[in-house]
């Protein structure tokens, strides 16, 4: 199985890095961000639109989130739809599974993404 984005850009993508890191996903939002920046001021090219791209990951502490400023920019500029982070070593903070169930948009949990050919990508060693 290849670790790459779907060819059809309109397909929603959910990226899950449950403590294994998000570096494998970094190029995905960087590519999208670059395309969006090139398109800025240009009408929708060939009707090609991006689907939602959600990043869910876990790390030990908020102070160790080395990509925080980069993901904030990616959300602000529309490359990432949402970033959900769990901190495993912090007290009273939801963990990855809790965030997955309680914070993902209800449209995902209701299966709407499935009907849109959603791609669920994981940085688990064995994948999902």
Residue range 54-64, pLDDT digits in tens: 888 888 888 88
13-40+52-122 adopts what CATH topology? Answer: Rossmann fold (3.40.50)
| Percent above pLDDT 70 for the chain | 62
Q: Where are the domains of the chain?
A: 13-40+52-122
**Measured between alpha carbons, how far is 118 from 42 in angstroms, rounded to an integer?**
27
DSSP string, 52-63: PEEEEEEES-GG
Tokens of 23: 């570096």
Bridge partners (DSSP) of residue 53 are 13
Q: Quickly list DSSP for 73-84.
A: HHHHTTS-SEEE
Q: What is the mean predicted confidence (pLDDT) over 85-97? A: 73
How does pLDDT run across 2-55, given as a tens digit for each residue?
A: 677 888 888 888 888 876 668 878 999 999 999 888 877 555 555 568 888 988
Max Cα separation, the chain? 48
Helices (H), the chain: 23-39, 68-76, 96-103, 106-109, 112-115
Over range 74-93, report the average pLDDT: 85
- How much is the pLDDT for 128? 43
Backbone φ/ψ region at 21: left (φ over 0), alpha (ψ -120 to 50), beta: left
């Amino acid at each position: 199985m290849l670790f790459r984005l779907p060819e059809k850009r309109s397909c929603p993508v959910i990226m899950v890095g449950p403590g294994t890191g998000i570096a494998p996903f970094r190029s995905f939002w960087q590519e999208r961000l670059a395309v969006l920046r090139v398109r800025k001021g240009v009408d929708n090219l060939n009707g090609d639109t991006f689907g939602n791209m959600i990043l869910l990951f876990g790390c030990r502490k908020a102070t160790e989130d080395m990509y925080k400023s980069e993901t904030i920019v990616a959300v602000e500029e529309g490359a990432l739809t949402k970033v959900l982070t769990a901190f495993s070593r912090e007290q009273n903070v939801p963990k990855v599974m809790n965030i997955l169930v309680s914070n993902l948009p209800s449209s995902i949990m209701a299966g709407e993404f499935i009907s849109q050919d959603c791609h669920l990508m994981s940085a688990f060693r064995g994948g999902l």
